[in-house]
Structure 1
Amino acid sequence: MHDATLFLTHEEARDPEVSSQLDGDYPAVDAEGAHYLDGHTIYYGTAADLIEERREDVAVDDTEISTGRAKVLVPRAIDFYVDVSTDPGFIGISSASAGEWFVKRVAAQTGVNVMQTRIDVDAFAEHIRDQETADAWNVSHSRDYGGGKEKTSIEYHDAADLASASNGTIGLGFEYFWDDIAMRGVIYESGYVANYRDGLLEEVFAKWVREEVLPFLEIEHDEEETTEQTELTEDEQDRAEVAVTDGGSDE
């Protein structure tokens, strides 16, 4: 499985290379590049840094038990996928909370602007719907009826219909062939994508994001300043992973 919360980048990069930094200390970056005939180089790998978190402290004495929250630095690692060789480009990280520093690092080193993004899931569904073998195992909708009234619905497996992935689709569990590879995964309006294809190489996942997902990335609310990306909620991710593991294996 490979997954990423995506950030949309704009402006021409001074240098699109993502280089390794391994000197035995944090932050650390272990990067590789895949070169393609069209001239693109997609970078992928692992990055790690000390991330500030809050830990519960408990103290016991003769009269009371006191609790509090203390700030601690914890080592955290993320997987990343980057292609900023064109405008627009993308940065994908496996954890937004642990990888914000890496996104800022790439932006500073390459000179691109990083924007909060959303994915037009309706358009992505229309894109794959032309394939005879394309199918959906999860379709999530959200419709705003005005006056503060909103309805969210989720259909799984037999109840999920790729044809219904239109007019407000916020999440899609998909199956289709891309570049002669059977792809199976999820894509969410929030900017989160995952591919459950067994044995899929990191560089292939990154190329799939570039060719199949990047065209459907949009700036959220037409904002013109860098903002923090929100990743898939734990509840959404848990439901998506339960659904995919319960839906049978790839052919």
Structure 2
Amino acid sequence: MHDATFFLTHEEARDPEIPSSLDGEYPAVDAEGQTYLDGNTVHFGTAADLVEERAEDVAVDDTEISTGRKKVLVPRAIDFYADVSTDPGFIGVSSASDGEWFVKRVAAQTGVTVKETRIDVDAFAEYIREQTETADAWNVSHSRDFGGPKEKTTIDYHDAADLASARNGTIGLGFEYMWNDAFVEGVIYESGYVANYSDGLLEEGFAQWVREEVLPFLEIDVDDEETSEQTELPEDEQDRAEVAATDGGADAE
């Protein structure tokens, strides 16, 4: 499986190359590139740095036990996928929180502007419906806003999931269809999170699939106040989606 939360990039890069940086120190980047027939290059690999987190701090003396929170630097590694050779382009990281430094690093190195992103899931669903007769959905998630704090989310799995219903406010889609003579299966969420569960799909294949199939549906959320706080699929929902892809699922609302 390959997955990432994606950010949209704009402006022409000074140099679209993402070089490796391995000298035994943080931050570290182990990058590979794949150049396609049109001359564009997709980069992918692993990056690591010390990420600031807050840890519990406990102090014991003769009279009391006191607790608090302190800042600590913890080594974290992320997988990444990026193509800034086009305008727009994309940068994807397997953990948005741990990979924020890498997104900023690529932006600074290449001279592109990075924007928070949403995915038009309705448009993606319409695209695969029109492109292939083999397209199907195994997870369709909708959200309806009734005003104020009232919001209802529904998730239909497998037999209850209908690709034709993925319209008018779809926030998540579990999909399967043929792409480049290969069967692809995964999930795509409005928040910018994408996963592909297809067996045998290498990193460069996932990056190419994102470039060709997902990039056209990345959009900038122009109203920062309304930007979704979900920068990556919650762990429990990701587990549910992965189980549903193979073993079945349940409806939720």
| Cα drift, residue 66 of structure 1 | 2.1
Equivalent position of 1:66 in the other structure: 66
**Quick one: which amino acid aligns to residue 19 of structure 2?**
S
Q: Which amino acid aligns with 1:185?
A: G
1:240 aligned partner, one-letter code: A
Q: Which residue of 2 aligns with 1:167?
A: 168
Deviation per residue, 1:178-235 (Å, 9 max, x gap): 0111101000000000001122100000000000000001111366xxx998222233
Deviation of 1:239 after TM superposition, in Å, equals 2.4
Report if aligned partners of 1:116, 1:229 keep a CA contact under 8 Å in 2: no
- Matched position secondary structure for 1:137: strand
Query: Deviation at 1:9?
Result: 0.4
**Corresponding residue number in structure 1 for 2:51:** 51
Count of aligned pairs between the two proteins: 245
Whole-Å separation in 2 of the counterparts to 1:228 and 1:105: 22
Q: Which amino acid aligns with 1:194?
A: A
User: Which residue in 2 is equivalent to 1:217?
Assistant: 218
Match of 2:19 in 1: 19
Structure 1 length-normalised TM: 0.92
Q: Residues 38, 28 of structure 1: CA spacing in aligned structure 2 closer, same or farther, 3 A cutoff?
A: same
CA separation of 1:178 and 1:86: change in aligned 2, threshold 3 A: same
2:97 aligns to what SS in structure 1?
helix
2:104 matches 1:124: no
Q: Is 1:142–2:143 an aligned residue pair?
A: yes
1:146 CA displacement? 4.0
SS at match of 1:221: coil
Give the Cα–Cα distance (whole angstroms) in 2 for the partners of residues 55 and 28 of structure 1: 24
Paired with 1:185 and 1:60, the residues of 2 have a C-alpha distance of 50
Q: Secondary structure at the match of 1:44?
A: strand
TM-score, normalization by structure 2:
0.91
Q: Identity of aligned pairs, percent?
A: 82
Q: Cα deviations across residues 21-52 of structure 1 (Å, max 9, x unaligned)?
A: 00000000000000111111100000000001
2:92 is the counterpart of 1:92? yes
Looking at structure 1, the residues matched to 137 and 230 of structure 2 have their Cα atoms a distance apart, in angstroms, of 26
* Residues 117, 229 of structure 1: 8 Å contact kept: no
* 2:101 paired residue number: 101
4+ residue segments displaced more than 6 Å: none
What is the CA RMSD across the aligned residues, in angstroms? 1.9
CA distance in 1 between counterparts of 2:223 and 2:62 reads 58
SS at match of 2:184: strand
Letter in 1 for 2:143: S
- 1:145-160 to structure 2, matched below 5 A, reads 145-146=146-147, 149-160=150-161
- Alpha-carbon separation, structure 1, partners of 2:148 and 2:63: 54
Tell me the SS of whatever aligns to 1:199: coil
**CA deviation digits over 1:94-145, x for unaligned, max 9?**
0000000000000001000000110000000011112211111100001224
